[in-house]
Structure 1
């Protein structure tokens, strides 16, 4: 057998080179008539290259590492020295290029999700280059329901690209100040993929948010809120949901649970729906939807009815 499979943790070995990774994926590609699949698959790399050229990243355009088509998108690696420029100006320019295309062509509208990540992957001009956990995570981020929901909620007339950045990219390039993309343009989300064991902190960036996103508060909280799986619901008892917007305190979310209060007090805050049973010295209070601005103090056991669907 010509391929040697290494045994993890059996010995120390050189770390593969760090590579940044960019993946893009077209919205509603599978819903297109079959006759359009091949030409749209060819069009997406062309639009990406056009945006790289306009963003003055010709060197990157010509130096992609392990590029691959995904049918409805593309993925490639590149030297992370270019990473700050991919975040800005490339992503805004890609949005602009798509906007121009969508307004001038009679074909199907092309709207893209993009994910950006960085990490160690093989890159030795050999089969298997680019494969590894960082590449897997790049695709998971691209498929996360948070970035899909954002693009679906946005107006197709205004928002042509929604990007999701891994936390490593955000910390190294954005928080580090190496890119023109300001942290205030990014929104933290708990990136999750339905049916996959994947959950990571990530950051959404919308180059051209449509008015409905702005009026609702980017992002649409109910669409982007992480929904815990059934086997993790008990672990989420009393845990606050991650804040969807930097600087805004998170709201507490309760899922099919009861909170035991023996000594001290419990404060119930925020908008809540369902029935509330307070046992002990308190009585039962039934209501449809109530909002507490400062909280109620209770003793005994507090039972909160309704699941995640009732919280909305």
Structure 2
């Protein structure tokens, strides 16, 4: 009997990174950061024992300000466990030429799902939506780039698959991740954020709240002067006199 269904594409872990404030760099600095990202990724993945897997990664491509690639899903415990701290250290050790004056900060997202060799599909879109999540941006916007150079967001699916499995994840445990609802355009999904070295119990929850614009001070409305009203009075002989009645408000006077 002929099948009327298709095989599901193989599951792949999707790793994506991009550079904070990349557009603020000049063209020469952008080229240097663009080429340096792969060097930093390769170094960090080598440290945690994923150099072989990275050499064979799927649909690798530069995104201008970052890079994206697919790995076998068995790498996930390393990607969300040991990799963030290793990436932070590799980025700190990277020595760009004089074109890049300020420390580089990277946003990282990790997701998993069925993807063919092209990398085109919903899991890839999901990965990039996580990368654009505003809470992740606010973390790095408030951070000192000399101290905090990496912020990571993972999908709820990755979090559940890895931490509920009970496998070892290096020095990073579930408590190093904080749940957040990722909202980007029409996309709204649970996600988990991690900053290497940060204890979320010490963090003000307002860090994840969008800044509230200050309301303009209410201006007192000027008192409108009362218009004089016209009056008529009649004398005993029947003559009418026309006049004006004016009401005046006086403050701060003195009694003489």
| TM-score higher than 0.5 | yes
Counterpart of 2:16? Answer: 23
Counterpart of 1:55? Answer: 48
The answer to whether structure 1 residue 172 and structure 2 residue 165 are counterparts is: no
Q: CA deviation at 1:185?
A: 0.7
The answer to whether structure 1 residue 140 and structure 2 residue 133 are counterparts is: no
Q: CA deviation at 1:61?
A: 2.0
Q: CA deviation at 1:60?
A: 1.7
Counterpart of 1:297? Answer: none
Counterpart of 2:226? Answer: none
Q: Over the residues paired in the alignment, what is the CA RMSD in angstroms? A: 2.1
The answer to whether structure 1 residue 185 and structure 2 residue 176 are counterparts is: yes
SS of equivalent residue, structure 1 residue 162: strand
Aligned positions of 1:277-292 closer than 5 A: none
| 1:190 and 1:226 in contact (8 A); partners too | no
SS of equivalent residue, structure 2 residue 81: helix
Structure 1, residues 216-257: CA drift from partner, whole Å, max 9, x if none? x43x43342479xxxxxxxxxxxxxxxxxxxxxxxxxxxxxx
Gaps of 5+ in 1: 1-10, 124-128, 228-312
SS of equivalent residue, structure 2 residue 49: coil
Aligned positions of 1:98-247 closer than 5 A: 98-101=91-94, 106=98, 107-108=100-101, 109-123=103-117, 129-178=118-167, 179-180=169-170, 181-193=172-184, 196-209=185-198, 217-218=202-203, 220-225=204-209
Q: CA deviation at 1:87?
A: 1.6
User: Residue 80 of structure 1: which of 69, 73, 84 is its match?
Assistant: 73
In structure 1, distance between residues paired with 2:62 and 2:166 = 32
| 1:111 and 1:160 in contact (8 A); partners too | yes
In structure 1, distance between residues paired with 2:74 and 2:200 = 33
| 2:178 and 2:200 in contact (8 A); partners too | no
SS of equivalent residue, structure 1 residue 56: coil
Structure 1, residues 77-135: CA drift from partner, whole Å, max 9, x if none? 01001111112222210011112337x86533211000000001112xxxxx1110000
Q: CA deviation at 1:43?
A: 0.8
Q: CA deviation at 1:73?
A: 0.2
- TM-score between both structures, scaled by the size of structure 1: 0.61
- TM-score between both structures, scaled by the size of structure 2: 0.74
| 2:54 and 2:71 in contact (8 A); partners too | no
Q: CA deviation at 1:214?
A: 6.6
In structure 2, distance between residues paired with 1:50 and 1:99 = 12
- Tell me: higher relative CO, structure 1 or 2? Use CA pairs within 8 A at least 6 residues apart: 2
Residue-pair matches, total: 204
- When Rg is computed on C-alpha atoms for both structures, the one with the higher figure is 2
In structure 2, distance between residues paired with 1:12 and 1:162 = 40
Structure 1, residues 65-84: CA drift from partner, whole Å, max 9, x if none? 11010000000001001111
